[in-house]
Amino acid sequence: MSSQPSAVAPSAASGPTVFTLPNLLSFSRLLGVPLFLWLLLGPHADGWALAVLMLSGVTDWADGALARKLNQMSRLGALLDPVADRLYILATLVGLVLRHVIPLWLAVAIIGRDLVLACTLPALRRRGLTGLPVHYLGKAATFNLLYAFPLLLIGSQPGALGAVAKPIAWAFTIWGAGLYLWAGGLYLIQFRRVITGQAAV
């Protein structure tokens, strides 16, 4: 892995087609966000909420796999995928806080990290860049959190299954939150290198 991260510039090689199968899967993930939050906070239909969350995880894997297999990778798809991830994380954090499953400070720490990184985007765009390269640590953090959230919901239920799921859920949560904040620090270092001209563009 290079110590000089390169920024992500808009690619002319990206296909102009919007309605590809991978992009439609990403759009379906976005449409699932309000449905998931309503199921979690409205009727407290936790089983259906978990089903939506798990379906999102399957489509998250499928859209990337299909994009590579069908050679339908696009700039839109590259933008939709992390947006969907962030929205699911945000929706789940809000829902779990309002359901008193996780403490408010944990949600604030995770959401605050994304808000800090969002502040770097205008400076990058002024330099003709759409963002920074996705770090493997950030992917690992998102993976942990997206596994932690459904387990936290299961762990909040009474019974043997909830008792087994709860410690596993909190293990994923602690690791995921720690890696998420660490990855945020690495992105800020990448941002500084780009702004100061130390990183290749």
Q: What is the pLDDT of residues 67-106, one digit of tens each?
A: 778 777 777 766 777 788 788 888 989 999 999 999 999 9
pLDDT of amino acid 147 = 86
Residue 164: both structure tokens together: 């087994």
How far apart CA 109 and CA 29 sit, in angstroms, is 24
For residue range 123-135, list pLDDT tens digits in order. 888 887 777 777 7
pLDDT at 2 over 80: no
pLDDT range class, residue 7, cuts 50, 70, 90: low
Q: What is the DSSP letter of 102?
A: S
Band of residue 200 on the pLDDT scale cut at 50, 70, 90: low
DSSP structure class, residue 103: -
Residues 134-174 pLDDT 10s: 778 888 888 898 889 889 989 988 899 999 999 999 999 99
Q: Is the pLDDT of residue 3 over 60?
A: no
Look at residues 26, 114, 120 and name the one whose alpha carbon lies nearest to residue 77: 26
Find the angle CA(93)-CA(110)-CA(48) to the nearest 5 degrees: 20
CB 196 within 8 A of CB 1: no
CB atoms under 10 Å from CB of 113, counted, come to 20
pLDDT of residue 97: 94
pTM: 0.74
* Closest to 75 (Cα-Cα) out of 176, 201, 83, 85: 83
The tens digit of pLDDT for each residue in 163-184 reads 999 999 999 999 999 999 999 9
Residue 147, C-beta contacts closer than 8 angstroms, at least 6 positions apart: 172, 176
pLDDT band at 14 (very low <50, low <70, confident <90, very high): very low
Burial of 136 (0-12, 13-18, 19+ CB in 10 A): exposed
In 3-state terms, what secondary structure has residue 11? coil
Residues sharing a CB contact under 8 Å with residue 15, sequence separation 6 or more, in sequence order = 72, 73, 74
Higher pLDDT, 100 or 14: 100
pLDDT single digits (tens) 15-46? 456 777 777 888 888 888 999 999 999 988 98
